[in-house]
Amino acid sequence: MSKVVCIFPQDDTTDFLRPLCDHICTTFKAEEVGYDTSGGNSQIEIIHNNMRDAKTIFFLGHGESTCLYASIINGTKLFNKDNISLLKDKQLFLLACNSDQLINTYKLSKAIGFGFLPTSLRDARRVRKLHSMRIEHLKENDIDSYNTALVNALINTLSVATMEDPHLFVERLKFSTCEKIVNILLQKETPNYEIVADVLYYFYKDVYIR
C-alpha cells in the first residue's frame, strides 16, 4: 500500500477529532504527523518532510480559503501559496473550514474539502451565519453535539472504498449524517438542537470534490 499520512495538528480546539484520526490511521495504515506549538519552525519541516513521498494526505485541523494551519492558537500556517505545491498530485482529504475554497483557489486535484465548520463557540460567534442561518447563539453543548455527530458520521463513512470513489463517499456521508440529524431531532438533548440539525445538513451539503 502506498504511503498515507494523517496530519493532525492537535490542540484543545481539535481534541474532539482524536477518534477520527485513530480511525484513519487504523483503516488506511496512515502515519500520524502532529504539531507541537513549543517546537518552533522545525515542527513544520518535520511535517513537510514526512509527507513528501506520501500518495494520500488526510488533514484534520483549521483552515481558510488560502491556507491550512499548523496551529490556530498562534496562527502558524502549514500550507499557503508559498508551499501549496507540496499538496499537488496527491490524493487529499482536507477536514478544515473552507477547504472547499482552498482546493478551488489552488486548483488541487483528487481532493475532498468542506465548507465552514462551526466546531467551537468562537467559530459560531465570529461568523454568526452559516449560509442564511443564524448560529451565533449556539451553546457549548450544541457545539459538542455537532462535533460528536460530525466525527461519528465520518468514521462510519471513511473506508478504502469511499476514498477510491469520492462520489460514493458523498452518498455514504449523506446517509450517515442524515441518521445523526434524525437522532438529534428525536432526542432533543441540547437547547438549540434544531439549529444543530441544520448545521449538520450543511456539513454534508457543502462537501466539495475536485
Say if residue 105 is in the same domain as residue 3: yes
Say if residue 110 is in the same domain as residue 122: no
The three-state DSSP-derived secondary structure of 23-92 is HHHHHHCCEEEECCCCCCHHHHHHHHHHHCCCCEEEEECCEECCEEEEECCCCEEEECCCCHHHHCCCEE
Say if residue 62 is in the same domain as residue 163: no
Per-residue pLDDT reduced to its tens digit, 9-32 = 878 899 999 999 999 999 999 999
Say if residue 87 is in the same domain as residue 182: no
The pLDDT tens digits along the chain (210 residues) read 589 999 998 788 999 999 999 999 999 999 999 887 665 557 888 899 999 999 999 999 999 999 999 988 888 999 999 999 999 999 999 999 999 999 999 999 999 999 999 999 999 999 999 999 999 999 999 999 999 999 999 999 999 999 999 999 999 999 999 999 999 999 999 999 999 999 999 999 999 999
Say if residue 106 is in the same domain as residue 191: no
Q: Which of 90, 115, 140 is the last residue of a domain?
A: 115
Its domain, for residue 5, covers 1-115
| % of residues, the chain, pLDDT over 90 | 87
Q: How many domains does the chain have?
A: 2
Q: Which residues contact 124 (CB under 8 A, 6 or more apart)?
A: 118, 135, 136, 138, 143
| Torsional sign, CA 174, 10, 44, 115 | positive
Report how far residue 115's alpha carbon sits from residue 47's, in angstroms, rounded to the nearest whole number.
24
pTM over 0.85: yes
Say if residue 28 is in the same domain as residue 59: yes
What CATH number did the domain enclosing 54 receive? Answer: 3.40.50.360
Say if residue 131 is in the same domain as residue 162: yes
Listing from the earlier edge strand, what are the strands of the sheet with 4-8? Answer: 31-34, 4-8, 56-60, 91-95, 111-113, 208-209
Say if residue 65 is in the same domain as residue 155: no
Q: Which of 92, 115, 138 is the last residue of a domain?
A: 115
Report how far residue 172's alpha carbon sits from residue 162's, in angstroms, rounded to the nearest whole number.
8
Per-residue pLDDT reduced to its tens digit, 129-166 = 999 999 999 999 999 999 999 999 999 999 999 999 99
Say if residue 7 is in the same domain as residue 96: yes
